[in-house]
Amino acid sequence: MQPLVTFEGIEGCGKTTQMKMAGEVLRNRGLPHVLTAEPGGTPLGEKIRRMLLRRNREAVCAEAETLLFCAARAQHVRETILPALQGGKWVLCDRFSDATLAYQGFGRGLDLNCVRRLTAFASPLDPALTFLFDLPVKMGLKRALDRIGRAGGPPEDRFEREALTFHERIREGYLTLARENPERFRVIDAARDIFTIHREVSAHLTAFIGGRADAAQ
Protein backbone atom coordinates (compact mmCIF):
# COMPACT_ATOMS: atom_id res chain seq x y z
CA MET A 1 0.00 0.00 0.00
CA GLN A 2 1.24 3.48 -0.84
CA PRO A 3 1.89 6.10 1.86
CA LEU A 4 -0.33 8.76 3.37
CA VAL A 5 1.51 12.09 3.65
CA THR A 6 -0.10 14.83 5.73
CA PHE A 7 0.33 18.61 5.85
CA GLU A 8 -0.36 20.32 9.16
CA GLY A 9 -0.09 23.71 10.81
CA ILE A 10 -1.91 26.69 12.25
CA GLU A 11 -4.08 29.09 10.27
CA GLY A 12 -2.21 30.86 7.48
CA CYS A 13 0.84 28.58 7.56
CA GLY A 14 0.74 27.88 3.81
CA LYS A 15 0.27 24.12 4.03
CA THR A 16 -2.33 23.96 1.25
CA THR A 17 -0.01 25.69 -1.22
CA GLN A 18 2.88 23.45 -0.21
CA MET A 19 0.75 20.32 -0.57
CA LYS A 20 -0.10 21.26 -4.15
CA MET A 21 3.56 21.91 -4.93
CA ALA A 22 4.51 18.58 -3.36
CA GLY A 23 1.99 16.97 -5.68
CA GLU A 24 3.98 18.34 -8.59
CA VAL A 25 7.11 16.67 -7.21
CA LEU A 26 5.29 13.33 -7.27
CA ARG A 27 3.87 14.00 -10.73
CA ASN A 28 7.32 14.77 -12.10
CA ARG A 29 8.52 11.43 -10.74
CA GLY A 30 5.63 9.59 -12.34
CA LEU A 31 4.06 8.68 -8.99
CA PRO A 32 0.23 8.50 -9.08
CA HIS A 33 -1.29 10.49 -6.26
CA VAL A 34 -4.42 12.09 -4.86
CA LEU A 35 -4.69 15.49 -3.17
CA THR A 36 -7.40 15.80 -0.54
CA ALA A 37 -8.29 17.82 2.56
CA GLU A 38 -10.08 17.66 5.89
CA PRO A 39 -12.74 18.22 6.85
CA GLY A 40 -14.10 17.25 3.45
CA GLY A 41 -13.02 14.91 0.69
CA THR A 42 -16.47 13.28 0.42
CA PRO A 43 -20.04 14.59 0.03
CA LEU A 44 -20.70 13.90 3.71
CA GLY A 45 -17.41 15.48 4.72
CA GLU A 46 -18.20 18.64 2.76
CA LYS A 47 -21.55 18.96 4.54
CA ILE A 48 -19.80 18.63 7.89
CA ARG A 49 -17.17 21.16 6.77
CA ARG A 50 -19.82 23.74 6.00
CA MET A 51 -21.49 23.04 9.33
CA LEU A 52 -18.25 23.44 11.30
CA LEU A 53 -16.42 26.23 9.55
CA ARG A 54 -18.98 28.72 8.29
CA ARG A 55 -20.23 31.43 10.55
CA ASN A 56 -23.61 30.62 12.03
CA ARG A 57 -25.67 31.47 15.06
CA GLU A 58 -25.63 27.99 16.48
CA ALA A 59 -22.85 27.38 18.98
CA VAL A 60 -21.07 24.03 18.69
CA CYS A 61 -19.60 22.66 21.92
CA ALA A 62 -16.06 21.27 21.88
CA GLU A 63 -17.25 17.68 22.31
CA ALA A 64 -19.70 17.87 19.41
CA GLU A 65 -17.07 19.60 17.28
CA THR A 66 -14.62 16.76 17.91
CA LEU A 67 -17.16 14.08 17.08
CA LEU A 68 -18.13 15.84 13.85
CA PHE A 69 -14.51 16.10 12.72
CA CYS A 70 -14.04 12.40 13.49
CA ALA A 71 -17.23 11.50 11.61
CA ALA A 72 -15.96 13.38 8.56
CA ARG A 73 -12.61 11.58 8.82
CA ALA A 74 -14.17 8.14 9.16
CA GLN A 75 -16.06 8.66 5.90
CA HIS A 76 -13.07 10.30 4.21
CA VAL A 77 -10.74 7.42 5.03
CA ARG A 78 -13.10 4.69 3.87
CA GLU A 79 -14.52 6.43 0.82
CA THR A 80 -11.48 8.29 -0.51
CA ILE A 81 -8.15 7.66 1.20
CA LEU A 82 -8.04 3.88 1.67
CA PRO A 83 -9.27 3.08 -1.87
CA ALA A 84 -6.61 5.39 -3.30
CA LEU A 85 -3.81 3.89 -1.20
CA GLN A 86 -4.90 0.35 -1.98
CA GLY A 87 -5.14 1.28 -5.65
CA GLY A 88 -1.45 2.22 -5.77
CA LYS A 89 -1.73 5.97 -5.30
CA TRP A 90 0.01 8.20 -2.81
CA VAL A 91 -2.36 10.38 -0.81
CA LEU A 92 -1.42 13.92 0.20
CA CYS A 93 -3.86 15.24 2.79
CA ASP A 94 -4.34 18.79 4.05
CA ARG A 95 -4.89 18.09 7.79
CA PHE A 96 -5.56 14.71 9.37
CA SER A 97 -5.73 13.23 12.88
CA ASP A 98 -2.96 15.48 14.27
CA ALA A 99 -5.21 18.46 13.58
CA THR A 100 -7.90 17.03 15.87
CA LEU A 101 -5.36 16.55 18.63
CA ALA A 102 -3.96 20.05 18.15
CA TYR A 103 -7.24 21.94 17.76
CA GLN A 104 -9.66 20.02 19.96
CA GLY A 105 -7.17 18.46 22.39
CA PHE A 106 -4.65 21.23 22.99
CA GLY A 107 -6.73 24.15 21.66
CA ARG A 108 -10.09 23.35 23.24
CA GLY A 109 -8.56 21.66 26.27
CA LEU A 110 -10.32 18.31 25.89
CA ASP A 111 -8.80 15.20 27.44
CA LEU A 112 -6.02 14.13 25.08
CA ASN A 113 -6.41 10.43 25.77
CA CYS A 114 -10.09 10.64 24.91
CA VAL A 115 -9.36 12.55 21.70
CA ARG A 116 -6.70 9.99 20.75
CA ARG A 117 -9.18 7.15 21.21
CA LEU A 118 -11.74 8.93 19.05
CA THR A 119 -9.24 9.61 16.26
CA ALA A 120 -8.09 5.97 16.36
CA PHE A 121 -11.71 4.82 16.10
CA ALA A 122 -12.34 7.15 13.16
CA SER A 123 -9.29 6.00 11.21
CA PRO A 124 -7.08 2.89 11.24
CA LEU A 125 -4.46 4.84 9.28
CA ASP A 126 -1.37 6.63 10.54
CA PRO A 127 0.49 9.01 8.24
CA ALA A 128 3.83 7.78 7.00
CA LEU A 129 5.18 11.34 6.84
CA THR A 130 3.87 14.61 8.25
CA PHE A 131 5.00 18.11 7.33
CA LEU A 132 4.36 20.65 10.08
CA PHE A 133 4.52 24.23 8.86
CA ASP A 134 5.40 26.32 11.89
CA LEU A 135 5.35 30.09 12.21
CA PRO A 136 4.37 32.72 14.81
CA VAL A 137 0.63 32.85 15.39
CA LYS A 138 0.25 36.57 14.65
CA MET A 139 2.02 36.13 11.31
CA GLY A 140 -0.19 33.18 10.37
CA LEU A 141 -3.43 34.96 11.26
CA LYS A 142 -2.36 38.05 9.30
CA ARG A 143 -1.67 35.88 6.26
CA ALA A 144 -5.05 34.17 6.64
CA LEU A 145 -6.90 37.50 6.88
CA ASP A 146 -4.94 38.93 3.94
CA ARG A 147 -5.93 35.89 1.87
CA ILE A 148 -9.58 36.41 2.76
CA GLY A 149 -9.31 40.08 1.85
CA ARG A 150 -7.85 39.25 -1.56
CA ALA A 151 -10.75 36.86 -2.14
CA GLY A 152 -13.13 39.74 -1.48
CA GLY A 153 -15.29 38.04 1.12
CA PRO A 154 -15.94 37.83 4.85
CA PRO A 155 -14.09 35.25 6.98
CA GLU A 156 -15.50 31.80 6.38
CA ASP A 157 -13.54 29.92 9.00
CA ARG A 158 -14.77 30.47 12.53
CA PHE A 159 -11.45 29.17 13.87
CA GLU A 160 -9.72 32.23 12.45
CA ARG A 161 -11.83 34.41 14.74
CA GLU A 162 -10.83 32.60 17.93
CA ALA A 163 -8.71 34.32 20.60
CA LEU A 164 -4.96 34.55 20.08
CA THR A 165 -4.37 32.28 23.10
CA PHE A 166 -6.40 29.53 21.40
CA HIS A 167 -4.08 29.61 18.39
CA GLU A 168 -1.00 29.71 20.64
CA ARG A 169 -2.18 26.51 22.33
CA ILE A 170 -2.67 24.88 18.93
CA ARG A 171 0.82 25.84 17.80
CA GLU A 172 2.37 24.48 20.99
CA GLY A 173 0.23 21.36 20.62
CA TYR A 174 1.55 20.72 17.15
CA LEU A 175 5.15 21.21 18.30
CA THR A 176 4.52 18.80 21.17
CA LEU A 177 3.21 16.18 18.74
CA ALA A 178 6.29 16.69 16.56
CA ARG A 179 8.60 16.19 19.55
CA GLU A 180 6.73 13.00 20.44
CA ASN A 181 6.97 11.64 16.87
CA PRO A 182 10.32 12.82 15.46
CA GLU A 183 10.58 9.94 12.99
CA ARG A 184 7.34 10.99 11.27
CA PHE A 185 7.32 14.78 11.54
CA ARG A 186 9.34 17.25 9.50
CA VAL A 187 9.03 20.69 11.11
CA ILE A 188 9.32 23.41 8.48
CA ASP A 189 9.98 27.09 9.18
CA ALA A 190 6.94 28.56 7.43
CA ALA A 191 7.89 32.19 8.04
CA ARG A 192 10.03 32.12 4.89
CA ASP A 193 9.00 32.62 1.27
CA ILE A 194 7.00 29.97 -0.61
CA PHE A 195 9.82 28.77 -2.85
CA THR A 196 12.42 28.44 -0.07
CA ILE A 197 9.90 26.37 1.89
CA HIS A 198 9.12 24.26 -1.17
CA ARG A 199 12.79 23.43 -1.70
CA GLU A 200 13.01 22.09 1.85
CA VAL A 201 9.75 20.13 1.51
CA SER A 202 10.91 18.74 -1.83
CA ALA A 203 14.23 17.64 -0.32
CA HIS A 204 12.48 15.81 2.52
CA LEU A 205 9.98 14.24 0.15
CA THR A 206 12.71 13.11 -2.24
CA ALA A 207 14.63 11.52 0.64
CA PHE A 208 11.45 9.77 1.79
CA ILE A 209 10.82 8.42 -1.71
CA GLY A 210 14.41 7.21 -1.88
CA GLY A 211 14.14 5.50 1.49
CA ARG A 212 11.04 3.63 0.37
CA ALA A 213 12.79 2.51 -2.82
CA ASP A 214 15.79 1.26 -0.84
CA ALA A 215 13.54 -0.62 1.60
CA ALA A 216 11.74 -2.32 -1.29
CA GLN A 217 14.96 -3.75 -2.71
Distance CA 204, CA 200 (A): 6
* Percent of the chain surpassing pLDDT 90: 81
Phi, psi of 63 (to 5 degrees): -70, -45
The dihedral built from the CA positions of residue 190, 66, 73 and 150, taken in this order, carries a sign that is negative
Q: Which helix (H) or strand (E) holds 37?
A: strand 33-37
Whole-model pTM? 0.94
> pLDDT at position 154, please?
52
Q: Cα torsion for 73, 77, 80, 85, to the nearest 10°?
A: 150
Q: How confident is the model at residue 151 (pLDDT cuts 50, 70, 90)?
A: low
In the 8-state DSSP scheme, what is residue 61? -
Domains of the chain: 4-216 (3.40.50.300)
Please check whether residue 167 is in contact with residue 11, taking contact to mean a CB–CB distance below 8 angstroms: yes
Taking only the tens place, the pLDDT of each residue in 3-54 is 999 999 999 999 999 999 999 999 999 999 999 999 999 999 999 998 887 7
Of the candidates 171, 41, 177, 165, the residue with the CA atom closest to the CA atom of residue 103 = 171
Of the candidates 126, 17, 37, the residue with the CA atom closest to the CA atom of residue 80 = 37
Q: How confident is the model at residue 114 (pLDDT cuts 50, 70, 90)?
A: very high
Distance CA 148, CA 215 (A): 44
Please check whether residue 37 is in contact with residue 7, taking contact to mean a CB–CB distance below 8 angstroms: no
